Amino acid sequence: MTDDRVDFASMLASRLCHDLLSPVGAFANGLELLADETDPDMRARCFDLLEQSARTSAAKLKFFRLAFGSAGGFGEAVPPAEAKSAIEGIMADRPIDLNWMIGDDALPKPAVKIILNLSLILVDALVRGGRLDIGCERRADGAIEIALHVEAERILVDADVERILSEGEASAAMTSRTAPAALVQAVARQNDGTVMLARETPTSLLVGAVLKGR
């Protein structure tokens, strides 16, 4: 295995651990409080904390399994409802309106990985909430076209992430923050595809990919 592949895997693992640290830490804190607490009202609040932390951890694990892993529970295609549910799980605490424009036909795993990783980048960018539109369709030539569009008062995409999506993996350093963008480019390249990013206005951003049909 090349050093680049090791670095890539390490950065994806770092991103996963970073996002899981908060809910898992809250779960541990809740258990500590519960062990010493005797007041019924406080114990009830501890149980609420534990339930919320467990739910958040499970949602993030489900998302990362599909976004970064092999999604071994599925064949070569994934039901769109699974992808939608995973995205909703990571934006549950954000004031983001999701406009899902994908039909019921199963999607190839590479398309799902790109949709999820682009969603992760855009959810991170919507620091004050906004609207996220997600569409995907198979063209007459068999190619799969993916488009994600956001509108918000503030859209903060890391400059290196934006550079990688626009120019390719070699255009910026590999970090835990840029790893999802690099994964999008890698999956697109493996499927003879292309990635695009366009800043339409200061409050509007479009990202997407086209994967050739097989």
Nearest by Cα to 194 from 100, 113, 114, 107: 114
What residue numbers bound the domain in which 128 lies?
3-211
Residues contacting residue 203 through CB under 8 Å, at least 6 positions apart: 151, 152, 153, 154, 155
pTM for the full predicted model: 0.88
CA of 171: how far to CAs of 28, 110, 131, 189, in Å?
A: 40, 22, 29, 15
Domain count, the chain: 1
The pLDDT of residue 1 is: 40
Q: What is the average per-residue pLDDT within 104-123?
A: 95
The per-residue pLDDT for range 126-184, each reduced to its tens digit, is 989 999 999 999 999 989 999 999 999 999 999 999 999 999 888 888 888 899 999 99
The per-residue pLDDT for range 14-71, each reduced to its tens digit, is 887 777 777 777 767 777 777 777 777 777 777 777 787 788 888 888 899 899 887 6
> Residue 214 pLDDT > 70, yes or no?
no
CATH number at residue 163: 3.30.565.10
